[in-house]
Chains A and B, each alone.
Chain A
Amino acid sequence: MASPATHPPTDSPALAGSQSLGPRPGGSGPELDVEAIRADFPILHQEVNGRPLVYLDNAATSQKPAVVVEAIEGFYRRDNANVHRGLHELSRRSTERYEGARGVVASWLGVEDPGEVIWTRGATEAINLVARSWGDSHLREGDEILLTDLEHHSNLVPWQMLAARTGARLRYLELDDEGELILDDLPRILEGGRVRIAAISQVSNALGTLNPVAEIARQVKAHGGLVLVDGAQGAAHAPVRIPDLGIDFYAFSGHKMCGPTGVGVLWARRELLEAMEPFQGGGDMIDEVHRDHSTWAQLPYKFEAGTPNISGAIGLAEAIRYLNAVGAERILAHEQRLVRRTMKALEAMPGIRLFGPGDPAHRAGVVSFTMEGTHPHDIATILDSEGVAIRAGHHCAQLVMKRYGVAATARASFYLYNTEAEVDRLVESLGTVREIFG
């Protein structure tokens, strides 16, 4: 299999400097050889509506390099069998690749115990697992769950449902005018000592804000609470080292980071997982089954009922290898260069309102905006006619939209394979929108 295209090639020590999350200056490390990277992504090389495709909807889902597609295909062509149960060669191979993938995730997260890595359908299922399995047995009336106005619905609704079941109360960390969390409010929220868990996104999908999760975790934990980080956007766009974050749960999805859909991960500290009840019952998660009760398998299997998404796990591990070889720091720096170029051009366009941090170094790969006299849906429709794919809507983050008094925004989101020329195509197409709406 081809190794990812980078110029010059780097090895994993390139990640060594990426110990903490949160705002950082962009532009570190050598620039990516984007043309070589693009050659690894077959889907990018096509025309849409007569123009070369410009894919700027990466915050919704990323495209997949050929190595990921080939890993999945190769699994089905050569190794497919159910895991953990057969005594035959294919089952042995399948299990080896599947558990090998778990090891890849563990070392990428910087954790030593692969038993702490639970496969899920995605970040959404991972968060629901914690809300159910930890929340139902640990929260009572009067306890508090700390969320933020930046959260994606997948990191809001499971907690609202938990609050309804237990009588716990939801508290919110609010946003300033630039889409950054107001950390000054945190001591006041925490001083009551009732926050049992804080569930916070690493990166906002709607605005791109890089949140200071390590600092929030430090304060929440000092007051006795646990911390879950929703890494659905973060895992793809910012370096992740669990030991440096000081958190208890980390949830992410494969498909936003060059992996396939339908697979994701919950990482949690072993002692928390040991104390939690299973999320779902079924095959593979039991030790002994009796007529009236069962006993549970060891970690991580206790939380993995049923035949898992084997090819998905293998594909995700391949995606992680690919991204690791490019380097998370360099990918973020590249995205921030594109964000800076986009913001500069949009700031010069009349009638454009930009949302989110004014400093591109506080963002990961997202530019959310509106254009006076048009609806974001109109913008996306015209851009599609020119082969430029963006998202328009509330981005499953209606609290963000309410905070800024809009129903929807247009959102361009970048990844390692996007180019400055593509930013220029976006800007040029926005000129067409302006012309058409006059």
Chain B
Amino acid sequence: MSGVTLERIEQGFRMMQKWEDRYRLLIQMGRKLEPLDEELKVEENRVQGCASNVWLVSEPTDDDPPRLRFRADSDAHIVKGLVALLLAIYSDRTPEEALQVDAQAILNRLELKGHLSPSRSNGLFAMVERIRALAVAEAASRG
């Protein structure tokens, strides 16, 4: 991650009254997200998508306990912004911390309600599911 904290993002969103501006902010966040190398945009890293695709790779840190670190990308700009937001929410946490996070509540607070729903074919719901599965697996591997 480029070091954008969730707190900074929430601050930014609080200043935006109009939905157009919230989308502008998301698009900006997506544009700042470090793009995933093309060779990582492969089927095994793709989480879902009919209308758009999301790719997610995880790289746990060497810390003790290790922290989760993710890189992700999407071919749609608004989704990419939402991906950046989810990375800010989940990255650099221990698996236990990650599993405590209520991403839905955060999106609701940012008035992005509805984007994180299984009925939206944008890949974000599946991305959160995969992050949580990785966190569970990581926590289990340390017994």
Q: Do A and B come from one complex?
A: yes
Chain A residues proximal to chain B, CB less than 8 Å: 374-378, 380-382, 385, 392-394, 407-408, 432, 435-437
Known: A436-B20, A436-B23. A378 touches B50 (CB 8 A): no
Give A382 to B75 CA distance when docked, in angstroms: 16
Q: Is the CB of A436 within 8 A of B27?
A: yes
| Minimal beta-carbon separation of B65 from chain A (angstroms) | 37
Which residues in A have their C-beta under 8 angstroms from that of B51?
376-377, 380, 392-393, 408
Q: Is the CB of B52 within 8 A of A408?
A: yes
- The total of Cβ contacts below 8 Å across the A-B interface reads 49
Give A385 to B53 CA distance when docked, in angstroms: 21
Q: Is the CB of A375 within 8 A of B23?
A: no
| Minimal beta-carbon separation of A397 from chain B (angstroms) | 12
Q: Is the CB of A437 within 8 A of B76?
A: no
Give A139 to B78 CA distance when docked, in angstroms: 48
Give A435 to B27 CA distance when docked, in angstroms: 12
Which residues in A have their C-beta under 8 angstroms from that of B121?
393
CB-CB nearest in chain B for A392: B51
Query: Given contacts A432-B20, A436-B23, could you give 10 more A-B pairs where the C-beta distance is less than 8 Å?
Result: A375-B77, A377-B52, A377-B75, A378-B27, A378-B78, A378-B79, A381-B23, A392-B51, A393-B50, A437-B27
Which residues in A have their C-beta under 8 angstroms from that of B76?
375-378, 381
Q: Can you sample 24 A-B contacts with CB below 8 Å?
A: A374-B77, A375-B77, A376-B76, A377-B51, A377-B76, A377-B78, A378-B27, A378-B76, A378-B77, A378-B79, A380-B51, A381-B23, A381-B76, A381-B122, A382-B78, A385-B20, A393-B51, A394-B50, A407-B53, A407-B75, A432-B20, A436-B20, A436-B24, A437-B77
Task: Tell me the dominant secondary structure on chain A's binding face.
Answer: helix
The number of residues on chain B lying at the interface, defined by a beta carbon within 8 Å of a beta carbon of chain A, is: 16
| Minimal beta-carbon separation of A370 from chain B (angstroms) | 12
Q: Is the CB of A375 within 8 A of B75?
A: yes
Which residues in A have their C-beta under 8 angstroms from that of B77?
374-375, 378, 437
Give A375 to B83 CA distance when docked, in angstroms: 15
* Closest 5 A/B residue pairs (Cβ): A375-B76, A377-B76, A377-B52, A393-B51, A377-B51
Which residues in A have their C-beta under 8 angstroms from that of B19?
385
CB-CB nearest in chain A for B52: A377
**B11-55 interface with A by 8 A CB criterion:** 19-20, 23-24, 27, 50-53
Which residues in A have their C-beta under 8 angstroms from that of B53?
407
Give A437 to B75 CA distance when docked, in angstroms: 14
CB-CB nearest in chain A for B77: A378
**B67-86 interface with A by 8 A CB criterion:** 75-79
Known: A374-B77, A377-B79. A385 touches B23 (CB 8 A): yes
CB-CB nearest in chain A for B120: A381
